[in-house]
Amino acid sequence: MLKNISDYLFLIFLMVFASGIFITWTNFKIKMELPINDLAGFVVDSNENIYIGDNFYSIIQKYDKKGCFVESIRVKNTKGKFFRMSIDEKDNITVMSQVDKNLTIYPYYNRDETSVIYNVNKSEKLPGVNKIFLTSKKQKFTDTGRSYPSIWKLSKTNQKIVEQNFLLRFLSLPTMGILIVIALIMKLMIFISKKYL
């Protein structure tokens, strides 16, 4: 029974990992919410839409001000590597990729159209993930952690806006890491029981 469980855990991990590679290296439009695996930061536009970057899938996921998923934006020139994002007063999103260090601008009116600004300072280190973001309306938002990021609006009520459901949390890389450790322990127990019992 332990062998079957550990085999299923490995299978789940391989499926999630393979899906990440497939999504990262293909160019089709993603129309569903994906688990946030490796947070690349988040930004908030003037309408309080929240954009959360994910390095693993090379996407930015957009949520409305109630926390409902709206769309995914494919991030170009990252191939699963680190990127950082910022937003300007006109709601244009700028992404800097670890791959080529160029700045890619995703305009507010059409996120599929992009323009690249060549960054002269290629040695520049990418900034860390922003923990607190202040919108143009002076409203503060924060993320609650790296393992399972959730976005809170910092107000008198500290409203949690974006939090993924149990299934998406289960399919994220932090959970997959825990599952692999459990599967390896199970396989080790099977090996020990066969060899010494």
Does the structure show a pLDDT above 80 at 175? yes
Model pLDDT, residue 132: 66
Chain length of the chain: 197
% of the chain beyond a pLDDT of 70? 84
Which helix (H) or strand (E) is 50 found in, with range?
strand 50-54
Interval 119-135 mean pLDDT? 67
Which comes out higher in pLDDT, residue 100 or 166?
166
% of the chain beyond a pLDDT of 90? 11
Interval 127-137 mean pLDDT? 67
Max Cα separation, the chain? 69
pLDDT digits (tens, 9 = 90+) for 59-81: 999 999 899 999 999 888 777 77
Model pLDDT, residue 126: 67
Most confident of 22-26, 66-70, 90-94, 129-133: 66-70
Contact 41, 93 (CB under 8 A): no
Which comes out higher in pLDDT, residue 141 or 7?
141
For the chain, the structural domain boundaries read 2-196
* Mean pLDDT of the residues in the chain: 81
Output the CATH code of domain 2-196: 2.40.10.500
Q: Give 26's Cβ-side CA count (13 Å radius).
A: 9
Query: What is the DSSP secondary structure assignment for residue 64, as one 8-state letter?
Result: -
Model pLDDT, residue 8: 75
Q: Confidence class of residue 52 from pLDDT cuts 50, 70 and 90?
A: very high
